[in-house]
Structure 1
Amino acid sequence: MSDLPLHITSEVAPLRQVLVHIPGDEMALVSPENRDELLFDDILFAEEARQEHEVMTTLFRRLVGHDDAVLELSDLVLEAFETPEARTNYVEELIGLVPERNFEAYQSELADLDAAALHRFAFTGQAPFPVSAHPLPNLLFTRDLAAVVGDHVVLSTAARSARRPESALIRTVFNFHPRFEASRQRLIELPEEVSFEGGDLLVVSDKVVLIGQSERTSLGGAVQVARELLARTAIEHVMVVNLPKRRSCMHLDTVFTFADEATFVVFPPIIEGYTDNVYDLSSGDRDGEFTMRVHTSLHAALEEVMDREVTFIPCGDDPISQQREQWTDGANLFAIRPGLVVGYTRNRETYAKMKEHGFRIVDAESFLKYHGDGDLPQNDKIAIRLEGNELSRGRGGPRCMTMPLVRA
């Protein structure tokens, strides 16, 4: 199949292509001693995590119905690194993003590595000379590397030092892999003094996006993304949601995701527990300026800009169950098409609330038994339960582990 043009104007339009990363050797390098520095609360068993991840990607391939439905980040990086210019650029990007690691002392040695050796260094931090680098286990969460809006790509500037090397990798892929050649004039790169991660951006429609101002996306980052989208794309409203700056809700999509066009699964203490924290930015009368309105709530803001009623489904029935379910990504669902979503099996209270709203709950393995390639149920509201006992230890759900590139 020829390369599909990037296109995302909805969180729930039928999926055509998605970027993922299967947990690799880098995940096995997370230890009790380095897990905090690598931003992990727990240690994942890599083989089990890979098996769980493979079920998820099998779902995507089966339901989308073509081999090119799932792209693997590791493959794209290796293919990009076949070009010497890409390897040199990656090393330069890395030096600039993490100056505290003093990679410039080995700049020529790193740039002289062949594609496979540089790939291994980039993912695991291991090299044939004594350069000190961390592995990148957070690459599992490809959502944070970038966000496609329309036919543009907003590239991340990670907030934490442990994740900044990931930004060098995704920039190299989009700037040098031949698959993305047609999109190079539509890359949005942000100043390094601000932070932005893709888990904080949700595409409501071809005219509206949400951006979380969170622990990982700074106010400057949110404003800069808004400015670029309003100036360069068809987006007319960027609604910035001010979130508590704590790890438990590090991105907007950890407390709020789409189930269909007007149904959302939410963590109520944050999404419904705060007021006057939604700032609607739109283009002003002069170039480079925008106007701002404050909405009383996200619910009210969405109903106004979408011009329809919306439904919030809580991830649990009471405050304790909601906290427990949000801890294991109850509100972090990924939509394959409107009303067909994937989440973790362990979030039983979330599924109970979804069932009350008309969703049929099925296990991933059972679903795969009854549906062939491209056999996508068109009308049923279905929540697919993905076994994620290991993956959930990483504190990211199916939306965190997916970066959609094309939706129909």
Structure 2
Amino acid sequence: MQYPLNVTSEIGELKTVLLKRPGGELENLTPDTLEVLLFDDIPYLPAIQQEHDYFANALRNRGVEVVYLDTLVTESLAKDEVRKQMIEDFLVESRVNETGSFDILKEYLTSLPKDRLVKVMMEGLRKTELPNESKKYLHELLADHEPFYLHPMPNLYFTRDPAAIIGNGVSLNRMNRRARRRESLFMKYIMNHHPRFAAHDIPFWFNREGAYSIEGGDELVLSHDTVAIGISARTTAQAIESLALKLFAGNQHYKKIVAVEIHKSRAFMHLDTVFTMVDHDKFTVHPGILGPEGEMNTFILERGENDGELTIHRRSNIIQTLKEVLNLKEVTLIPCGGGDSITAAREQWNDGSNTLAISPGVVITYDRNYVSNDLMRQHGVEVIEVLSSELARGRGGPRCMSMPLYRNNL
């Protein structure tokens, strides 16, 4: 069997990608739950599914194998003991054990066929959906104003964040917000129990059970030996150090991690919302994160002299740092919105900097960011535009919606 994971750059030809088609979890969003579930608005499900299918077909049209999260999870639960353990883990992480309803919900979930089970875990379980016999016991346990026994997971279509492939291994991430914390549990079961992955001794560079958070939108594989990671509202410096130690110990190819500090705000959620790689020496960037001369607070982490140690060197200019770690003579930063303060802010909010490279100099973007898209074309980048009216409501672009599993090496 071919080893199933290989990501040694952001721009190598994309061969296999993991997506999640938006589903009923979005129809379980309500105005009262938008803030806690990290949405600004409620997408229209038929339209967002149509747009997501357009995105998936754009990938397939370029020869990319598209696999779906719910399918892989279902196929990972073939053994009864695995399915039962998954149910228990999921209920604990849903904090059901704190309400006294654990056993009743466990019995109900265990009775479901695998595909229905996965659907319920992802979409949530409304009080009106539980069989009446079980419902009468739970009625007194849970407050009447709460409409769910299990909360939905509407951010699942942003498959980039719960885990990231770096080289031949996985960063299995601890999500920063509780609303998304359960998402990486699905990736854990896929990697450990799906026949496509379980047959291989896949290393984990980060463990979701740790104390510090890191998310895939902050993890950019710049080359076969260098990773960039954002220090952001969702990723901590401690998590970056932990990942660096495991990665350096387990993969001798990797020599540097570039930690990039970005503003901790809703608009600048992850590094890939303000900075992505589109070609060997070209990057999109939101100009709002840069000083007048390209100043940006960065740190280069390398192996220390002894095991378990790191050396850290501070840098202040992102262009010079990229030249240094990628051994480039020139680096081109393509400003989101063309650098105009109003256009840049608007298009960055709609993920103008969140590009998905499918090969060197070929990217998928949202059609709505026409200023940024035209500017990339002027710089020799092929831009494939996809529909975005509903997808953009979730505050994530093509890179956010995709988890590359396999890229050809450059």
Fold agreement, TM-score > 0.5: yes
Q: Could you say if the C-alpha distance between residues 38 and 148 of structure 1 is closer, same or farther in structure 2, counting changes exceeding 3 Å?
A: same
Which secondary structure does the structure 2 equivalent of 1:316 belong to? helix
Match runs of 1:349-364 below 5 Å: 349-358=371-380
The counterpart of 2:344, out of the listed 322, 326, 336, is: 322
Which secondary structure does the structure 2 equivalent of 1:143 belong to? coil
Note if contact 1:151-1:183 (Cα within 8 Å) is conserved in structure 2: no
Is 1:398 aligned to residue 398 of structure 2?
yes
Deviation, 1:105, is 3.7
Deviation, 1:253, is 0.4
Q: How many residue pairs were aligned?
A: 382
Note if contact 2:28-2:124 (Cα within 8 Å) is conserved in structure 1: no
The counterpart of 2:152, out of the listed 128, 135, 153, is: 135
Is 1:334 aligned to residue 356 of structure 2?
yes
Which secondary structure does the structure 2 equivalent of 1:225 belong to? helix
Is 1:237 aligned to residue 269 of structure 2?
no
Match runs of 1:6-405 below 5 Å: 6-64=5-63, 69-99=65-95, 102=98, 105-107=101-103, 108-109=106-107, 112-114=110-112, 115-126=114-125, 128=130, 129=134, 132-188=149-205, 189-233=207-251, 234-272=253-291, 275=295, 277-308=297-328, 309-317=330-338, 318-358=340-380, 381-405=381-405
Deviation, 1:138, is 0.3
CA root-mean-square deviation: 2.0
Q: Which ranges of structure 1 fall in alignment gaps of 5 or more residues?
A: 359-380
Q: Which ranges of structure 2 fall in alignment gaps of 5 or more residues?
A: 136-147
Which secondary structure does the structure 1 equivalent of 2:313 belong to? strand
Deviation, 1:330, is 0.1
Q: Aligned partners of 1:101 and 1:386: how far apart in 2?
A: 42
Amino acid at match of 2:343: S
Q: Aligned partners of 2:332 and 2:7: how far apart in 1?
A: 23
Taking structure 2 as the reference length, what is the TM-score of the superposition? 0.88
Q: Aligned partners of 1:266 and 1:402: how far apart in 2?
A: 19
Note if contact 1:7-1:407 (Cα within 8 Å) is conserved in structure 2: yes
Taking structure 1 as the reference length, what is the TM-score of the superposition? 0.89
List per-residue Cα deviations over 1:140-164 (Å, max 9, x = no partner): 0000011101110111111111101
Which secondary structure does the structure 2 equivalent of 1:193 belong to? coil
Q: Aligned partners of 1:110 and 1:403: how far apart in 2?
A: 32
Which secondary structure does the structure 2 equivalent of 1:346 belong to? coil
Note if contact 2:212-2:238 (Cα within 8 Å) is conserved in structure 1: yes
Q: Aligned partners of 1:104 and 1:305: how far apart in 2?
A: 53
Which secondary structure does the structure 2 equivalent of 1:132 belong to? strand
Note if contact 1:194-1:221 (Cα within 8 Å) is conserved in structure 2: yes
Deviation, 1:182, is 3.3
Q: Aligned partners of 1:288 and 1:74: how far apart in 2?
A: 37
Amino acid at match of 2:400: C
Note if contact 1:101-1:133 (Cα within 8 Å) is conserved in structure 2: no
Note if contact 1:175-1:184 (Cα within 8 Å) is conserved in structure 2: no
Note if contact 1:98-1:164 (Cα within 8 Å) is conserved in structure 2: no
